[in-house]
Amino acid sequence: MKNQYSGRPRSIGVILLQLGGPERLEAVAPFLKNLFSDPDIIPVPGGPAVQKPLAWLISTVRAPRVRRLYAQIGGGSPLRCWTEVQARNLEAELTRRAASRLGPRAPSVRVAVAMRYWHPFTEEALAAVSGAEALLAVSLFPHYSIATTGSSLKELARLRAANGDERPFAVLEHWYDAPSYLEALVARIRTAVDRLTPEGRAGGLILWSAHGLPQKIIDRGDPYVTHIEATVAGTMARLADLGLPHRLAYQSRTGPIKWIGPATEEVIREEATHGRRALVVVPVSFVSDHIETLYEIDLLYGDEARRLGIQEYVRMDSFNEAADLTGVLAGLVEERLAAVGWMDAGAGMDAGAHAEAR
């Protein structure tokens, strides 16, 4: 699929990169197998000949327990639902903005979803934008890691090479310090803090909880922790008037290897031991609800916090289908498209966004 146009593209395919999740309990085992087959998640000496049977073994052993967890949040992950809503909202907003500025000169925009480990897979997203003259990949992980955005981009590159897809291609690979994103977090955190009683607010803590990674990934130079810390710092600077302390922790550890820390559950225990009255939990590395928010944060950690004597436990609402996320993404995409010369700059562009092209 070669590039057959000159100048600005008349049509642009935007591909949203996301993890994916099993929508039904029957999909848990194959989802886990896909996840553990990825060498960017679990690098295994010996390559595919070792990794594939090991992934089958791990998924077979873990599937019964993981199915029980998904059963507690309704029988499956809502991640596909939320991501496809985000894609529709973004497509509509980009189309509206381009038409209002450019009129008949506006390129058409098609937004598709590429999940890494479950449907719709990357090949399905590429099929959905097969008619576009140029492609922009947009990570829905604000903070870059090889285990998330990096793995998704590698899969996208592999499939494009296999298909001979030589269309112009750009990437928005992280946006952890985009002012619009930080302001959206600020608004959500303020709403969560408002749910505390005066007593809870006086003795409260903002607990940021990010998805964990094996320490060896960070030791190889992965910027994930640096990006997370920048988001926390940028947001808390805007929340200084609240006068609330904060801590950063990491969740979702699995297996015997060393993970980045401290662990969210350990911090909750420490705070309870020191008499903490209230927690406002901020799931920082997620833009949509899924098992890490609905089970781990809401049920597992929430029950433990209350058992330990923490009287008020509030979780910041995820973005899901909210209009503020649509606005953040639309501004970032406009900036990217303008930077590579595919669209005129928009008045609402987020000039502070840290977005990289490739």
Could you tell me the domains of the chain? Answer: 11-20+78-173+322-339 (3.40.50.1400), 25-71 (no CATH), 179-315 (3.40.50.1400)
pTM for this structure?
0.92
Between residues 140 and 37, which one has the greater pLDDT? 140
Tell me the pLDDT band of 276, cut-offs 50, 70 and 90.
very high
Q: Which pLDDT score, from 0 to 100, does residue 353 have?
A: 40
Place of tokens 């990010």: 210
Which of 230, 206, 79 minimizes the C-alpha distance to 144?
230
Q: Beta partners for 15?
A: 112, 137
pLDDT of residue 233: 98
Section 51-66 average pLDDT: 92
Question: What's the confidence (pLDDT) of residue 42?
Answer: 75
Report the candidate in 272, 313, 318 with the shortest Cα–Cα distance to residue 294: 318
Tens-digit pLDDT profile for residues 19-45: 999 999 999 999 999 999 988 877 778
Q: Would you place residue 3 in the very low, low, confident or very high pLDDT band (cuts 50, 70, 90)? A: low
Cβ neighbors of 139 (< 8 A, separation 6 or more) are 17, 148, 149, 152, 153, 171, 172, 173, 174, 175
